Chains A and B, each alone.
Chain A
Amino acid sequence: MKFRDVIGTAIASTFRSKLRTTLTVIAIFIGAFTLTITSAIGTGVSSYINTQVASIGNPNVMTVTKTVAVTSTNSGPSKYDPSTSSSNTQGARQGFGNASAGVLTAMDISAIKATSGVLSVAPSIRLTPDYIQYGGNGKYVLTLSADAALTKADLASGAQLNDSSTANEIMLPTTYLTNLGFSSAKQAIGQTVAIGVTDYVGQQHVVNATVTGIQNETLFGAGASANTALTDILQQTEATGRPASVLTNYASATITFKNGSTPAQVTQLKKALTNEGYTGQTVADRLGTFETVINGIVGVLDAFAVIALIAAGFGIINTLLMSVQERTREIGLMKAMGMGGGRIYALFSLEVIFIGFLGSAIGALVAIVLGSVASRILSRRLLADLPGLHLLQFAPASIATIILVVMGIAFLAGTLPARRASRQNPIDALRYE
């Protein structure tokens, strides 16, 4: 028998007992469907996280804060130490939220800069402007991201901030558009907005800035960001009338280190910072926990899918054993007519591989259709707060892998019955009643 005919006969055989084939296909379908969905969730979430990482910063960037004795729950508050906690009252006015970290003074900044491996330090300036206004559309509260200096935004429209420009530039998140009175992200680009700032003695000033970009909302910063020129002018305005004795403090600083540093080098840099009394955190550190949780959930879902597939595997063995039993005579007849054992083995193996293909292909297809619809609904309702997150993303490579793996499982499940079929003695098979 030619190989092409073996394939044709195998496919025809699967359609001869429709009910049995259908039931087996359903069993495989469930496993393949679940696997496709879970892998799509994995892809969707990790691609979202990657976008977030890209928007937060480059891999050679680290956020540094001052290490403070943590107030632990069972030992009560730690002892007051003027050297680490001196500026906390000032810090509250400056408006940073991380209570466990002390503030960085100009001295700290130079100490960090002196640490070996640190290429440059950019202190994060926490600004507290009063409002933002576009045209005559009313005043709205403005939150400025502190560490905008080194981030690369996930843009909805416009361009990244230009720190070397002398013009005041501001980047707004998409959520600001409607309230401020912009009709679309595109329309907002190039428009001038007014920012109200109160100085040290309580007098309000207005600074104008141009909108250069509109940023998709991210997990880590829902605020607007300003370029260096705007940051400087806002800071100067805020400091107007401040007594010289009040020092400028920073909540944190962003340092850059050598591009392409190995994880060991990064760890070493962190250790050096710890020794100096600072805590360094890379973007990966900040995202690590989050990603671990997601991976855990996806892993559990995958395990369920694999269990479903194993169950389906036994279903396949059963189906094929029944098929071999039912077709004992047919096998005997084919052998009597001179069909070799190897070809019979191939015939039954291909039959089960085809069943595996049917189940997995249909499962993957249905998963893609349902998943795309569900993903669209979810990102509009339940996950509307996380713009840019498409929970289910179907990667062709992983779907192809799933289909191949399922076909492989089907083949393994079919090996035993197929071997039994190929070893039948023609005369025993023909005598079989």
Chain B
Amino acid sequence: MTESVLEAHDLAKSYGRGANRFDALKGVSLSINRGESLAIVGKSGSGKSTLMHLLALLDRPSSGRILLNGSDAASLAGATLNKARNQTFGFVFQQFFLMPNTSVLDNVILPLKIAGIGARTRKRQAMDALDALGLADKAKNNATDLSGGQKQRVVIARALVNNPSVIFADEPTGNLDSATGEVVEDILLDLNKERGITLVLVTHDPDLAERCDRSIHVRDGLIVTQEQYA
């Protein structure tokens, strides 16, 4: 018996108007179960990132519906939407998006600060998250001075720190060499297995997709194949 965290019904998204109109997604339906790991695979420009952004409620679909924990995400607005983003999702980006000239600890603390958690609690939680990723000794370092692999681990710690139910990872190994990339993959998949955090991975790497429970292949704004690995 599995319940779905996120459901998409006939999602479509287009950019621009008239002759410049570009349909990034042309009707995608899928359901993501709690605790599973899903890979969204596709080439550049296939619409896979757009799909992820819609699922993460960072963007609004042109048509179609998204259900978060069974309720329509379109009904969420303002503070409720912000709260849902803050407490449900964690993000891992290819380009890291770490705040420059800011300590590793402060970067990890950011989501908790936004959530309005007190100074002492959030520091403890952030140190726990850094500890889990073996970065406790780097807490005071400037985030931009770290190596690529360390940066991505900081980003994962940041995604993890507010105990999200879903982590979205957009090409998490894209900027890393294969050895460090593999370490990051292991960390993400371990989090999925050990903590039961739903993982949505956007990648063009079929090998990484195969390590997930399931993968969907997106091309020209449509899901072309689905594969179940586990």
Contacts and interface: CB of A to CB of B under 8 A. Distances in A.
A338 B82 contact: yes
Contacts of A16: 100-102
Nearest to B86: A338
B116 A5 contact: yes
A1 interface: yes
Contact of B97 (A1, A12, A427, A430): A430
A388 B44 CA distance: 81
A333 B97 contact: yes
B16 to A, nearest CB: 14
A370 interface: no
A426 B85 CA distance: 11
A158 B30 CA distance: 98
A430 B85 CA distance: 15
A338 B87 contact: yes
Given A338-B86, A339-B82, A426-B58, A1 B101 contact: no
Nearest to B84: A338
A427 B53 contact: yes
Contacts of B59: 425, 427
Contact of B91 (A336, A340, A343): A336
A430 B79 CA distance: 21
Contacts of A334: 110, 114
Nearest to A338: B86
A334 B107 CA distance: 11
Contacts of B222: none
Interface string B41-60: 00000000000010010110
Interface in A1-57: 1-2, 5, 9, 12, 16-17
Nearest to B81: A338
Nearest to A339: B114
Contacts of A343: 114
B44 to A, nearest CB: 13
B158 to A, nearest CB: 9
Contacts, number: 61
A244 interface: no
Given A329-B97, A430-B97, A340 B78 contact: yes
Interface string A411-430: 00000000000000111001
Interface residues of B, number: 29
A276 interface: no
A337 interface: yes
Interface string A143-181: 000000000000000000000000000000000000000
B172 interface: no
Majority-rule SS of B interface residues: helix
Contacts of B85: 336-338
Interface in B68-120: 78-79, 81-87, 89, 91, 93, 95, 97, 99-102, 106, 110-111, 113-116
A329 B53 CA distance: 15
A337 B78 contact: no
Contacts of B56: 336
A430 B56 CA distance: 13
A232 interface: no
Contact of B110 (A2, A337, A430): A337
A426 B95 CA distance: 15
Nearest to B56: A336
Given A336-B91, A338-B86, A1 B114 contact: yes
A405 to B, nearest CB: 31
A337 B82 CA distance: 7
Contacts of A427: 53, 58-59
B116 A1 contact: yes
B58 A336 contact: yes
A337 B86 contact: yes
Nearest to B87: A338
A340 B86 CA distance: 10
A343 B79 CA distance: 11
Contacts of B110: 333-334, 337
Contact of B115 (A12, A330, A338, A426): A338
A340 B64 CA distance: 25
Residue from A17, A332, A339 having most chain B Cβ neighbours under 10 A: A339
Contacts of B111: 337-338
A330 B116 contact: no
A210 B181 CA distance: 101
A433 to B, nearest CB: 9
Interface string A276-307: 00000000000000000000000000000000
B100 A337 contact: no
Contacts of A9: 113
Given A330-B99, A337-B85, A430 B93 contact: yes
B116 A2 contact: yes
A339 B58 CA distance: 12
A334 B99 CA distance: 10
B123 to A, nearest CB: 12
11 contacts: A1-B115, A5-B113, A17-B101, A329-B97, A330-B97, A330-B99, A336-B91, A338-B83, A340-B78, A430-B58, A430-B97
Interface of A: 1-2, 5, 9, 12, 16-17, 329-330, 332-334, 336-340, 343, 425-427, 430
Leading 8 A-B pairs by shortest Cβ distance: A338-B86, A338-B85, A338-B82, A16-B101, A427-B58, A339-B114, A427-B59, A337-B111
Interface of B: 53, 56, 58-59, 78-79, 81-87, 89, 91, 93, 95, 97, 99-102, 106, 110-111, 113-116
Given A17-B101, A330-B99, 20 more contacts: A2-B116, A5-B113, A5-B116, A12-B106, A16-B101, A16-B102, A329-B95, A333-B91, A336-B56, A336-B58, A337-B85, A337-B114, A338-B83, A340-B79, A343-B114, A425-B59, A427-B53, A427-B58, A427-B59, A430-B58
